Chain A
Amino acid sequence: MIAVKQRVAALQVQLPVNRSVLFLVLLMMGFCAATVMSLGMGGVEISVGDVFVHLAHRIGITEVGIDAFDARILDSLRLPRILRAIIIGGGLGLAGAVMQSLFRNPIADPGIIGVSASAAFGAVSMIVAGHLILGSYYAAFGPYGVPIAAFGGAVLATVVISILSRQDGRTDAAIMLLIGVAINAIAFAGVGVFTYMADDAELRNLTFWQMGALSGNGPTDMPALIVMALGIAYLIRLGTPLNLFLLGEAEARHLGVEVEHLKRRATVITALVVGAAVAVSGIIGFVGLVAPHLVRLATGPDNRYVLPASAMGGAIILTAADAVARIIVLPAELPIGLVTGIVGGPFFLGLLIVEKKRRRL
């Protein structure tokens, strides 16, 4: 054991790599492992070896593939689904980390402060009342109207929160949470009204969607997924400016950050990512909260590492949660929002107790 520690220490001296970078590499490996394992799990068990053979075949490394039935399950069911899990999980984890820095508060999360619910309200209103709003254009634009409406709801909620929770230039955590309670109440009431108005087919659509589902809506998801991927690519590079932001807005400006510019961009793009995530998969809670908190335990608060690690952590969490959702009540599947809620809620309570002992909150 000691010998190993010495080796690691020696390695760290030789290479200009710090603990956080090492953690990012570990996380990347965990991410790959979770993806491969999740691909093998479900109603039809596919061995890890077969998954590798199939992936290698698809890339063109090997000539022979696997059993055609298994291959079709992987190609048309699990791969798209896991791709959604990765992008949505990564997007939510990253959005949570960015919001926590923007509000300079460790308990911000798109679900808790009502951004997700507000996006859901936007999407539901488009599903139920879309043909009234868009009229004759509904046939052509309807499917794309849902993500746009979800984005609109997310932006609205974010703007309301950032305006109302500011007092003398800083964000008050208690007020922010209370505004979140209010927005959640309003948005869920709105969703309830539409649920009441909806017909049977729409209703089944809506309920699944409030609990979150990764089954997707086919090719109409593509624009939302692309938007999320672009949003992730932008947000993940904001590490240093967001670190400066944690010092305070005035201080960030003294250190060369165009504060208003950064705030506006980061807020809009975070809302875009959350809105797109909700449009594809419904409300999936706690990922945006748990992922950044978990990675901070390992990397510390430095956003240059927290942001990419939160994205990867969120992707791992959602991929794993999806695997659980698929196998726990075979042959049916559990809505994924329930899984993240059941696992994430108590987990977060535990985290709060630890944080409370450290008096960090």
Chain B
Amino acid sequence: MTLMAYKAEFKARGRYLLRDVSIAVEPGEVLAILGPNGAGKSTLLKVLAGELSPSGGTVFQNGRALSSISALDLAQERAVMPQAASMTFPFTVFDVVALGRAPYRKVSTRQFDQKQVRRAIELADITHLANRAYPALSGGEKQRVHLARALVQLWGMTDASQSGTESNGSDEQPSVARFLLLDEPTAGLDVSHQHAVLALARQEAKERGVGVLMILHDFNQVLTYADRVAILSSGEVVEQGSVSDVLTPDLLSSVFKSPIRAINDPAGGIVLVSQSA
């Protein structure tokens, strides 16, 4: 029960954007994707989301090949928070978040949908914006709207106001795992909201067993919020493994072509800093 790319490659105009990428997101873990600009991070996310079909290799979600799953089934198993979504029509924030309930419109009720939407709006800290028109928001506020939208999609029919994987308190695992894919979720956010978003994603993984994949740029955010990390460079996975094993100053310095040092944090652990010589 994973979301897995097996030897995936993606070619555009004769150039490999992804080559021989094998990567798996397990339920309950946070996997971070790190890499310089143009390394193929967003392409990988789009391939995993089924937005692009790989030109070679296969993507499996919960044991089925992605290309064989209908868009609706796919939407009920994974949610995507995009980097930027434009919308010229003046929907209110509440309505945009409620669009995340669309995959469940045949099985859900209006009351339940609204309850989930209100909960997500609260968690994404946009309660004060709920009745504002979406196009009038700032970039960071829009990001949080899309986080809330991804959350209500991800929760599906499990009641979000109750913690734990199952509402009835039993520890049986859901039959299929759910996945959350975030493309630079912290872009355009202020520091406190960056941490809020990452903490939310981690909480989904730990409390509900969601498999989370996110593209990040900040090494220290990866250290704090991710369990494992994959480093991408020129369309290939350079290294993947647990955060503490992979995030070494030597490796990062060579991949990012910029000197990176680890210094001891007086509060515990290490901090990775980048400084030009």
Q: Which residues from chain A contact B72 at a C-beta distance below 8 Å?
A: 256, 258
- Known pairs A254-B49, A300-B92; list 12 more (Cβ under 8 Å): A170-B86, A240-B105, A243-B102, A247-B96, A248-B87, A251-B80, A251-B85, A253-B51, A255-B99, A255-B103, A256-B73, A302-B95
Could you tell me if B89 and A254 are in contact, using CB atoms closer than 8 angstroms?
Answer: no
A204-262 residues with Cβ-Cβ distance < 8 A to B are: 240, 243-244, 246-248, 250-251, 253-259
A256-B74 in contact given A244-B99, A250-B82 (Cβ < 8 Å) = yes
A83 to B58, CA, bound (A): 55
Q: Which residues from chain B contact A254 at a C-beta distance below 8 Å?
A: 49, 51, 75, 79-80, 82, 153
Among residues of A, the one whose C-beta sits closest to the C-beta of B84 is: A248
A105-B86 in contact given A254-B80, A255-B102, A256-B103 (Cβ < 8 Å) = no
Does residue B71 face the partner (Cβ distance < 8 Å to A)? yes
Among residues of B, the one whose C-beta sits closest to the C-beta of A248 is: B85
Could you tell me if B91 and A251 are in contact, using CB atoms closer than 8 angstroms?
Answer: no
A307-330 residues with Cβ-Cβ distance < 8 A to B are: none
A106 to B86, CA, bound (A): 14
Does residue B76 face the partner (Cβ distance < 8 Å to A)? yes
Could you tell me if B71 and A256 are in contact, using CB atoms closer than 8 angstroms?
Answer: yes
Q: Which residues from chain A contact B79 at a C-beta distance below 8 Å?
A: 254
| B112 CB → nearest A CB, Å | 14
Could you tell me if B87 and A246 are in contact, using CB atoms closer than 8 angstroms?
Answer: yes
12 sampled A-B residue pairs with Cβ under 8 A: A247-B99, A254-B79, A255-B100, A255-B153, A256-B75, A256-B103, A257-B102, A258-B72, A259-B71, A301-B89, A301-B91, A361-B88
A151-183 residues with Cβ-Cβ distance < 8 A to B are: 170
Could you tell me if B135 and A360 are in contact, using CB atoms closer than 8 angstroms?
Answer: yes
A288-347 residues with Cβ-Cβ distance < 8 A to B are: 300-302
Q: Which residues from chain B contact A16 at a C-beta distance below 8 Å?
A: 110
Does residue A84 face the partner (Cβ distance < 8 Å to B)? no
Could you tell me if A360 and B90 are in contact, using CB atoms closer than 8 angstroms?
Answer: yes
Does residue A104 face the partner (Cβ distance < 8 Å to B)? yes
Residues of B in contact with A (beta carbons under 8 Å apart): 46, 49-51, 70-76, 79-80, 82, 85-92, 95-96, 99-100, 102-103, 105, 110, 135, 153
Per a CB cutoff under 8 Å, which of A248, A250, A256, A302 touches B102? A256
A240 to B105, CA, bound (A): 9
Q: Give the one of A16, A254, A300 with max B CB within 10 A.
A: A254
Could you tell me if B90 and A300 are in contact, using CB atoms closer than 8 angstroms?
Answer: yes
A360-B88 in contact given A244-B99, A244-B102, A248-B82 (Cβ < 8 Å) = yes
Could you tell me if A302 and B71 are in contact, using CB atoms closer than 8 angstroms?
Answer: no
Could you tell me if B88 and A104 are in contact, using CB atoms closer than 8 angstroms?
Answer: yes
Encoded as 1 (CB less than 8 Å from any B CB) or 0, chain A from 349 to 361 comes to 0000000000011
Q: Which residues from chain A contact B76 at a C-beta distance below 8 Å?
A: 256
Could you tell me if B75 and A246 are in contact, using CB atoms closer than 8 angstroms?
Answer: no
A246-B153 in contact given A256-B72, A256-B102 (Cβ < 8 Å) = no
A253 to B74, CA, bound (A): 9
Q: Which residues from chain B contact A240 at a C-beta distance below 8 Å?
A: 102, 105
Q: Which residues from chain B contact A244 at a C-beta distance below 8 Å?
A: 99, 102
Closest 9 CB pairs of A and B: A256-B75, A301-B89, A256-B72, A256-B103, A254-B80, A258-B71, A255-B102, A256-B71, A248-B85
Q: Which residues from chain B contact A247 at a C-beta distance below 8 Å?
A: 85, 87, 96, 99
Encoded as 1 (CB less than 8 Å from any B CB) or 0, chain A from 102 to 118 comes to 00111000000000000
Among residues of B, the one whose C-beta sits closest to the C-beta of A303 is: B89
Per a CB cutoff under 8 Å, which of B51, B87, B100 touches A250? B51
Q: Which residues from chain B contact A248 at a C-beta distance below 8 Å?
A: 82, 85-87
A5-26 residues with Cβ-Cβ distance < 8 A to B are: 16
Among residues of B, the one whose C-beta sits closest to the C-beta of A361 is: B88
Q: Which residues from chain A contact B88 at a C-beta distance below 8 Å?
A: 104-106, 246, 360-361
Could you tell me if A258 and B50 are in contact, using CB atoms closer than 8 angstroms?
Answer: no
Could you tell me if B70 and A258 are in contact, using CB atoms closer than 8 angstroms?
Answer: yes
Q: Which residues from chain B contact A300 at a C-beta distance below 8 Å?
A: 90-92, 95
Q: Which residues from chain B contact A301 at a C-beta distance below 8 Å?
A: 89-91
A104 to B88, CA, bound (A): 7
Q: Which residues from chain A contact B99 at a C-beta distance below 8 Å?
A: 243-244, 247, 255
Q: Give the one of A246, A255, A258 with max B CB within 10 A.
A: A255
Per a CB cutoff under 8 Å, which of B51, B73, B89 touches A106? B89
Among residues of A, the one whose C-beta sits closest to the C-beta of B78 is: A254
A257 to B90, CA, bound (A): 21
A257 to B240, CA, bound (A): 33
Among residues of A, the one whose C-beta sits closest to the C-beta of B181 is: A254
Among residues of A, the one whose C-beta sits closest to the C-beta of B111 is: A16
Encoded as 1 (CB less than 8 Å from any B CB) or 0, chain A from 92 to 108 comes to 00000000000011100
Q: Which residues from chain A contact B50 at a C-beta distance below 8 Å?
A: 253
| B90 CB → nearest A CB, Å | 6
Q: Which residues from chain B contact A256 at a C-beta distance below 8 Å?
A: 71-76, 102-103
A253 to B52, CA, bound (A): 11
Among residues of B, the one whose C-beta sits closest to the C-beta of A262 is: B71
| A260 CB → nearest B CB, Å | 10
Among residues of A, the one whose C-beta sits closest to the C-beta of B82 is: A251
A251 to B110, CA, bound (A): 22
| A189 CB → nearest B CB, Å | 32
| A199 CB → nearest B CB, Å | 48
Q: Which residues from chain A contact B71 at a C-beta distance below 8 Å?
A: 253, 256-259
Q: Give the one of A170, A246, A248, A258 with max B CB within 10 A.
A: A246
Among residues of B, the one whose C-beta sits closest to the C-beta of A100 is: B89
| B83 CB → nearest A CB, Å | 10
Among residues of A, the one whose C-beta sits closest to the C-beta of B70 is: A258
Could you tell me if A255 and B82 are in contact, using CB atoms closer than 8 angstroms?
Answer: no
Q: Which residues from chain B contact A255 at a C-beta distance below 8 Å?
A: 75, 99-100, 102-103, 153
